[in-house]
Structure 1
Amino acid sequence: MTQAIETAGERPGTPPPDPDHADATPASVAGIPTQPGAPGRLPAAPAPAPAPTRAGSGGRLALALLLLGQFMAILDVSIVNVALPTLRTDLHTSDSGLQLVVAGYILSYAVLLITGARLGGILGHRRTFLTGLAVFTVASLACGLAPGSGSLIAFRFVQGAGAALMTPQVMSLIQRTFTGAARARALGLFTAVVAGGVVVGQAAGGLLVSADIAGSGWRPVFLLNVPIGVALLIAGPRSLPKDHGERGEGLDIPGLLVMSPAVLLVVLPLILGHDEGWPAWCVISIIAGVALFGLFIAVERRIAAQGRRPLISGQVLRVPGLLPAVGVLLLAPATWGAFLFTTTLHLQGDLRMTPLRSGLAFVPCIAAFALVSLTWQRLPAAWHRWLVPAGFTLAAVSYLGIGPLAGGGARYEVITGLIGLGLGVMPIIMTVALEHVPFEVAPDASGLLLTVMQLGQVIGVATIGTVFLTVTADSHSTRHAEYATGWALAAATALAAATAVVLARRRVAIAE
């Protein structure tokens, strides 16, 4: 998914941030990952920050290292999609196993995202970035050498944890290292890297799998990270700016220990239920997960009452318009993640495309997505609030064309391009949602929305992906499955459009 970065707006009566020492700005994000930049933290007493730079070879090298780390994290979401059919054949991976290969990375990233950002503030952004990079690199090597689907899935979870430590620090270090025009250029390059990562991932995944280097099949899609990661680990300690963090505030460990199993208990049955025949334990697990979410709310309230900082602040949830934005950012990324997952299986299934050809088939879709997400701010401001429901309506109608045009050809790629065009409005949701957030809780608000977006992708792969796999198994045809999938995607996107209308109207009411 692509990202566009915006500086937090100032509220009347709220002191503006120090532009040279702010840990991070809220990120306007559309979709994989986006991986994604993440919120920084706002300490009560800022730790000594490195002197901001405006240019210079040292600053450019530091920026290159940070952006390359961000690029790897994004690449690993999309590059795996194209390798799924080859994985199925080589490792005899089940349908639920394929879903977990994709969802495991995003799931651990989503659950640990806010914690990763907080650790950067406590331990220092450079140290946390390099630690996350080391975990990510070792896990990538383990994924590339995995002997079976079970170990691959386990290593994907570890890889996501490394990304959750690494990527939140990228935006924080950019904000703390650059100022003025240099910062603007750095943010522009950051946006370009995130926007291009998905496109490159789809194409590079297809190229690597098709090349079948030394008979390695899918393994290079993971091993590609290893030499890059090692080079960054060698250069990083000398090139990235030093910071020592702020140790006065601890992590919300109780909240994390309750939230993590709650998410797993809800999501894993949705993924595994299809292969297991939906046994009773799936229902019991989901009920237990929902109950743990209730316990998580109680734990967070207690943490806040003790004067400590919870993972999700009640003040954030009370911000006008934020809850509708959460609904939109759960639904829309769900359709995007499911669309990439199911369409890849169809292109290499009934359409018999090579991995390279199937990867290139996504370029019109993702290019349209990037075009809208990077240029929408040039449109009149009065249009912005209505662009989201309009874009989702276009995407919903376009999803309905997936089934009738599932035979491939130019018209199929036109439809997928229209889907990308419609979903490209997702960065606007972040902008609208964060517009009335007080600056002191803006990092927490953006962190919540980013986490919801990642969980949305996981839920999309788990639910709509299961619809696709079930129909494929029953009909022995991915083309027939595309009809059912198209209707499911359209329904979810239409609901996102309706929720976006509620968000737009609340914004008008607040303005008046």
Structure 2
Amino acid sequence: MTDLQTRPATRRAEPAAAARPGRLLALILTGQLMAVLDVAIVNVAVPTIRTDLHASGAALQLVIAGYTIAYAVLLITGARLGARHGYSRVFQYGLAGFTAASLACGLAPGTGALIAFRLLQGVGAALMVPQVMSLVQRTFTGAARTRALGLYSAVLAGGMALGQVLGGVLVSADLFGTGWRPVFLVNVPIGIALLLAGRRLLPATPGDRSRRFDLPGLVVLALAIGLLVVPLVLGHELGWPAWGWAMLAASGVLFAGFAVVEWRIAARGGQPLIPGRVLRAPGLLPAAVSVFLVMAGFAGFLFAFALHQQAGLAHSAVRAGLLSAPVAVGFGLSSLHWQRLPARLHGALPVLALALVAPAYLAVGLMLRGGGEIGLAPEAVLAALGLVAGCAYSPLFGRALARVDPADAADASGVLVTLVQLGQVVGVAVLGTVFLSRVSFPATPQVSGQALWTTVAAIAGALVLAAVSALATSRATRSRPRPGTAGTD
């Protein structure tokens, strides 16, 4: 279709979308929630999948990890495709692919097919998710953007805990004798409804075809992320083989190579995958580091806490998910409402919050290190921990994007969303390894409690580093905003 043919549609669609920003936000955040849920929801179904499909341990790891690997590797690619072909169009393509792959997963006849369809699910999510942040950046400004980013943070936090609960409920219900299959099939009616609603609600966002596709940068970055993620996801289960360490070392070399490739492309007047001006935006890099560490700690804690409950305390998956809910609910609530705190606190809020979250994790670890049942006191501390953590994460996310030129929204969003996803992967892999290295199964409650204590001590150390990086962010963003951008405080 030619540009002349698409321009009238653009004029018709944009006012309609602007008149219904709440519905648009609900639509794209529901798509985001589906992608987050599928990281956690499948874990609960693993025992049933093993029995039904006679799957090996390695195959089950690929069922779980294949989605995350494809998702993490292709996120920045998805962001660039959105900028080139239109955010709304690529969101719809990603959603359609994710929905179709979910149906295929639910109907998979064997382990090999399930692994392949999980990879395709990850590809669909990688196309869909970066467009969410780009659409938020393009559609909302000022206080409305702050609230939208708060809802985005709430979806990330709540999705991880909700995935555990929903997965347990669906598997336990064994609907019509389908066992594990509803954990995938539940996405299908939701995806179809979103696709239909998207035709009316998504704004027309013509892509910029002048933006070239940086194929060398894309290949090098995808390989670097893949070499990082694969051993982190599979390493512990396979006993940290030599090839895993070799891949980690090679990923470091390729990340350095990616920087060289991008510099050369920019020096020749080309269009690098991640423009240097995006990374130079005031506060973006230190905020991104803090966001990465906060998400790594949060995801790693939820993983270790679930293992402690299910392996050490013999809780069901549903109960483990429900006991994890207070920290996720607290995180989501404060992500939405932190701006209601006195304005004089906003500048220092991320640093203050992180300074409180680190000892809160330690307090939870001390309460549970003896292996006792989880009572009201630790649950209350978990709720407070979530509330305070959200007061760090959501403002940091907003500040990371506040000084980015709107024309670079897609690239900045791709970088941030990739770091959030890598934070989850690294948190679960590294902190999960810290926990699992301290226990052998079946584990006693006391041994499991000690392992959890060691894990939260590591999380507290990471959050101290996050606080230092957040302090650098606060200093960097005291400068005036760039023309055309809007702050989020």
After TM superposition, the structure 1 stretch with the greater mean CA deviation from structure 2, 87-96 or 222-231, is 87-96
Aligned to 1:4: none
The yes-or-no answer on 1:501 pairing with 2:471 is yes
| Secondary structure of 2:383 counterpart | helix
Alignment equivalent of 1:481, drawn from 442, 445, 451: 451
Specify the SS of the correspondent of 1:143: helix
Equivalent of residue 89 in structure 2, options 127, 131, 137? 127
Distance 1:342 1:491 in 2: 16
Query: Which amino acid in the other structure matches residue 381 of structure 2?
Result: I
CA offsets per residue over residues 352-373 of structure 1, 9 Å max, x none?
2222222221221111101111
Give the Cα–Cα distance (whole angstroms) in 2 for the partners of residues 398 and 329 of structure 1. Answer: 18
Matches within 5 A, 1:177-196: none
Establish whether residue 69 from structure 1 lines up as the match of residue 31 from structure 2: yes
Which amino acid counterpart does residue 109 of structure 1 have in structure 2?
A: Y
Matches of 1:177 and 1:435, distance apart in 2: 14
> Does 2:71 align with 1:109?
yes
TM-score in terms of structure 1 length: 0.78
Alignment correspondent of 1:402: 365
Q: How does 1:430-449 map to 2 (within 5 A)?
A: 430-449=397-416
CA contact (8 A) 1:54 1:178 kept: no
Unaligned ranges ≥5, structure 2: 1-6, 482-489
Q: Which residue does 2:389 correspond to in 1?
A: 423
- Is the Cα–Cα contact under 8 Å of residues 317 and 323 in structure 1 kept in the other structure? yes
Maintained 8 Å contact 1:464/1:485? yes
Give the C-alpha shift of residue 163 in structure 1: 1.4
Q: CA deviation at 1:377?
A: 1.2
Tell me, in whole angstroms, the C-alpha distance in 2 between the residues paired with 1:372 and 1:366. Answer: 10
Measured in 1, the distance between the counterparts of 2:59 and 2:166 equals 22
The answer to whether 1:412 aligns with 2:378 is yes
Partner of 2:439: 472
My pick for the range that moved more, 117-126 or 176-185, is 176-185
Is residue 393–residue 422 contact of structure 1 (8 Å, CA) maintained in 2?
no
Q: Give the residue type in structure 1 aligned to 2:417.
A: L
Q: CA distance change for structure 1 residues 56 and 333 in 2, over 3 Å: closer, same or farther?
A: closer
| Percent of paired sites with the same residue | 53
- Rounded Cα–Cα distance in structure 1 between residues aligned with 2:159 and 2:239: 37
Aligned to 1:357: 319
Instruction: Label 1:505 to 1:92 Cα distance change in 2 as closer, same or farther (>3 A).
Output: farther
Deviations 1:148-188 (A, max 9, x none): 66654543332122112123344556777899999999889
Shift of 1:351: 1.9
Give a deviation string over 1:435-493, Cα, whole Å, max 9, x none: 44445434433432222121111111111112222222378343343122222222222
* 2:124 match: 162
Partners of 2:312 and 2:443 within 8 A in 1? no
Per-residue displacement from partner, 1:241-260 (whole Å, max 9, x unpaired)? 55553322222222111111
Which deviations, in whole Å up to 9, do the C-alpha atoms of 1:218-237 show, x marking residues without a partner?
33121101232234445655
Whole-angstrom distance in 1 between the partners of 2:384 and 2:145: 33
Query: Given residue 211 of structure 1, which amino acid in structure 2 is its aligned partner?
Result: A
Taking only aligned residues, the RMSD between alpha carbons, in angstroms, comes to 3.9
The alpha-carbon distance between structure 1 residues 234 and 262, as it changes in their structure 2 partners (threshold 3 A), is same
Q: In the alignment, which of 326, 332, 342 is matched to residue 304 of structure 2?
A: 342
After TM superposition, the structure 1 = structure 2 runs for residues 179-328 of structure 1, keeping only pairs within 5 Å, are 197-198=159-160, 200-233=162-195, 236-237=198-199, 240=202, 244-328=206-290
Aligned length: 467
Which region of structure 1 is more displaced relative to structure 2, 69-78 or 417-426? 69-78
Cα distance in 2 for partners of 1:268, 1:292 equals 15
Contact 1:125 1:172 in 2 (8 A): yes
* Structure-2 change in CA distance of 1:398 and 1:100 (3 Å): farther
Once residues 364 and 66 of structure 1 are traced to their aligned partners in structure 2, the CA distance between those partners, rounded to angstroms, is 25
Q: Can you list the C-alpha shifts for 1:301-320, whole angstroms capped at 9, x where unaligned? A: 12222333222222222334
Question: Cα gap change, 1:505/1:97 in structure 2, threshold over 3 Å: closer, same or farther?
Answer: farther
Distance 1:148 1:502, change over 3 A: farther
Deviation at 1:296, TM superposition (A): 0.7
- Once residues 190 and 446 of structure 1 are traced to their aligned partners in structure 2, the CA distance between those partners, rounded to angstroms, is 12
Q: 1:138 aligns with which of 100, 107, 110?
A: 100
Q: What is the distance in 2 between the residues matched to 1:502 and 1:367?
A: 28
Contact 1:86 1:218 in 2 (8 A): yes
Q: Which has the higher helix share?
A: 2
Q: Structure 1 residues 365, 170: closer, same or farther in 2, change over 3 A?
A: same
Amino acid paired to 1:494 = V
CA distance in 2, matches of 1:56, 1:351: 50
Question: Is the contact made by 2:39 and 2:68 (CA closer than 8 Å) also made in structure 1?
Answer: yes
Given residue 449 of structure 1, which amino acid in structure 2 is its aligned partner? L
Q: Which range moves more in the overlay, 172-181 or 470-479?
A: 172-181
